[in-house]
Structure 1
Amino acid sequence: MTQPNSVTKLNADWQQPIDAFLHYLQYERGYSKNTLSSYQRQLEQTALSIIEYAKQQANSGQYHWLNLEQNQLKQHINTLRLQAVKPRTIALKVAALRSFFGFMQKQHLRQDNPAQYLTVPKAARDLPKNLAVDQVNHLLSFDSSDDILASRDKAILELFYSSGLRLEELVNLNINDIDWQQKLLRVSGKGNKQRIVPVGSVALTAIKHWLNMRPAFCQQLAEADQLALFVSKQHKRISTRQVRQRVQLWAKKQGLSQHLHPHMLRHSFASHMLESSQDLRAVQELLGHANLSTTQVYTHLDFTHLAKVYDSAHPRARKK
């Protein structure tokens, strides 16, 4: 089974079920644009590969989402393995297929889920990189008092590190999501799940300074963006792409030697919180992780410290 040409288009019989699935994920599950694009890409690539395989087989019959079996999907996954596709990419494709066929089951279009028992190669999970506390302090040490872009960017960087937000969570924030009195922030996370996180005083001060300058970017704001916390000089809600660019710009300006992206600030927040508090459950809640195992992989656990805590606290840890 060969990989298809990426510019090939699917016919309506193959494309319409994908479109219905994406509509469901967007409007009923609240998935992000990035996740929707990823699912669409994985499903369309799978469909095109299976169609190409069918053309090469004599009397292969007419494949379709409604009659695909586990064997056809296995052939596609095996092809990816032979082509040395990364295990994480294969796992993403299998996850998309499982979810898609599960949706078809709910819609009573299929009685089974042929992707349910597909196996994927295990991928090594590298610990994300983070900044040291001194590096974060140096990154955030620039003066933003008289520059509107610097003021906005300072507020963005401070908020990333203060509250451990995801990139999309930050750009979707509105002014009325901030509880100034309680120093709390309402965040809409993955699957449109909301959580409340604290905001540090330094970050709140930076946000207040930015809000004083924000009107200069608000003359032509669309109605949907009127309450956007962070806006661009194009007079609209700031985009994820713009935030990435500005984070990298300030890393360069401040002389950081490593490539910096927003997720690294989120990880730095989690790592520093865990190192100080040793409260894994609290960090899980702050990050908005559904499973504790995600937090364990995502953060650098100080096992030496944990061993000391165990030795000092457990009644049978040491001989008396």
Structure 2
Amino acid sequence: MKKLELNTITFIEALERFSIRLQTQGASERQVSSKTNGVNEFLHYLEQNSIAKLSQINQKLVSRYFEYLRNRPLETKDGTMSTAYLLKHRESVLRFIEFVMNQQNEIGQGQSGIQIRIDKTEKLPKEILLENEIEVLFNACDSSLLGIRDKAILSLLYGCGLRRKEALQLEINEIDLNKGRIHIDKSKTKNARDIPMSAKVQQNIEEYLFNVRNLMLDTTSELTSFLITERGTEMSDSALAKMMERLSEKVNMGKSITCHLLRHSIATHLHRNMTIEDVAKFLGHTCLDSTMIYTHLKNEYYG
């Protein structure tokens, strides 16, 4: 949709300040454009409904707006907005409302009191790896240098539930073997967290760190990235994807092994014995809505 023109000066100025805040927080140009366009559409809706003050934004008004979005026909093809679009739009609107409220009161992310329920059925992961399949996957990593490294990668993605980017950006000084935990500073949500390592995960991490990584590195290298290639270079996104594809073909269990699948799997397994709040903390979620999918998966797979 083309950017809709705003006429209310208060709205225009607030949107400009919001854009500047996103930039100072380190958002990419694409993220700034996406979020401001989403908020622009929301503010235009307010104008069309005779709302001229930001203080008039409340739960009832926001709920009505998203009900309108759900049912609004698409301009270029048949149907209505996808769940993915609605989720992105919700993120933009919630962050804007928090920004506006924070001009008067100190509130954090997720503390606006506004809730926007989106049916996530379309985006739910359709499958996870069961515990026995996880065991098969780990056993597929042999005792070679690459096998030991790959097992360490699985330990990060499944054992610690790291996001793909978090694993790739992990530095060796963020692994505390004395306390048995990993510190994630570069998080998708900008919120740092500490993740405990099980004894087996720590054993896999240590074996790679002390017996493999140093052999892959050039003796003069000062590379601090935890994950590296066999050539001693920092592991890229594509290299990690190829490694997962290779493992997927090796175990041949009829499921495409991806970083996200491993994260979904550990979250579902943990939720069998942990509260959804504890699972959210483990995963680094700032909003429980993002974690509720694991209640669905737990019920689907384990009853």
TM-score bracket for the superposition, by shorter chain length: 0.5 to 0.7
1:239 equivalenced with 2:236 (yes/no): yes
Quote the Cα distance in structure 2 between the aligned partners of 1:174 and 1:79.
47
Mapped partners of 2:44, 2:299: distance in 1? 48
1:265-284 aligned at under 5 Å gives the runs 265-275=262-272, 277-284=273-280
Q: What is the CA RMSD across the aligned residues, in angstroms?
A: 4.3
Alpha-carbon contact 1:18-1:40 (below 8 Å) kept: no
The sequence identity of aligned pairs, in percent, is 21
Pairing 1:25–2:25 present: yes
Match of 1:150 in 2: 147
Change (3 A) 1:221 1:273: farther
What SS is found at the alignment partner of 1:185? Answer: strand
Q: What per-residue deviation string (whole Å, max 9, x for no partner) do you get for residues 116-154 of structure 1?
A: x9x99755355422111111111111243223x333222
2: CA distance, partners of 1:286 / 1:238: 24
Q: How does 1:44-55 map to 2 (within 5 A)?
A: none
- Partner Cα distance (1:304, 1:214) in 2: 37
Deviations 1:239-282 (CA, angstroms, capped at 9, x unpaired): 3343233222211111121122111111111111222x243333
Change (3 A) 1:143 1:278: closer
Cα distance change, pair 17–182 in 1 and its aligned pair in 2 (3 A)? closer
Distance (Å, rounded) in 2 between the aligned partners of 1:125 and 1:169: 26
Q: 1:190 to 1:150 in 2, by over 3 A?
A: same
Which of 116, 134, 137 is matched with 1:136 structurally? 134
Q: How does 1:113-262 map to 2 (within 5 A)?
A: 122-124=119-121, 126-128=123-125, 129-147=127-145, 149-188=146-185, 189-211=187-209, 212-219=211-218, 226-233=223-230, 235-262=232-259
1:227 counterpart SS class: coil
C-alpha displacement of 1:89 = 1.2
Asked whether the equivalents of residues 271 and 279 of structure 2 are also in contact (C-alpha less than 8 Å), the reply is yes
> Does the CA-based 8 Å contact 2:160-2:197 persist in structure 1?
yes
Letter aligned with residue 145 of structure 1:
S
**In the alignment, residue 213 of structure 1 is paired with which amino acid?**
V
Question: Alpha-carbon deviations, 1:186-207, whole Å to 9, x = none?
Answer: 1233333222221122222222
Which structure 2 residues correspond to residues 280-291 of structure 1 after superposition, within 5 A? Answer: 280-291=276-287
- Give the match's secondary structure for 2:189: helix
Aligned partners of 2:143, 2:269: CA distance in 1, in Å?
28
Aligned to 1:170, the other structure's residue is in SS state: helix
Aligned residue type for 2:92: A
Measure how far apart 1:182 and its partner are. Answer: 2.6
Give the letter for the 1:246 counterpart: M
Q: Secondary structure at the match of 2:121?
A: coil
TM-superposition CA deviations, 1:171-193 (whole Å, max 9, x none): 22111222212321112333332
Within 5 Å, which residues of 2 pair with 1:304-315? none
Structure 1 residue 219, shift from structure 2 partner: 3.1
What is the letter of the counterpart of residue 249 of structure 1?
R
Separation (CA, whole Å) in 2 of partners of 1:103 and 1:221: 47
Provide closer, same or farther for how the CA distance between residues 96 and 46 of structure 1 changes in structure 2, counting only shifts above 3 A. closer
1:221/1:235 contact within 8 Å kept: no
Q: Which moved more, 1:241-250 or 1:169-178?
A: 241-250
1:67-82 → structure 2 map (5 Å cutoff)? 70=46, 78=72, 80=74
Q: How many residues align?
A: 260
User: Relative to 1, partners in 2 of residues 1:296 and 1:22: Cα closer, same or farther, differing over 3 Å?
Assistant: closer
> 1:56 aligns to what?
none
Q: Secondary structure at the match of 2:195?
A: strand
- After TM superposition, the score normalised by the length of structure 1 is 0.63
Residues 39 and 96, structure 1, Cα contact 8 Å, conserved in 2:
no
Q: Gaps spanning 5+ residues in structure 2: where?
A: 4-15, 50-64, 104-113
Tell me the distance in 1 between the aligned counterparts of 2:95 and 2:242.
33
The aligned residue for residue 294 of structure 1 is 290
| Residue 110 (structure 1) aligns with | none
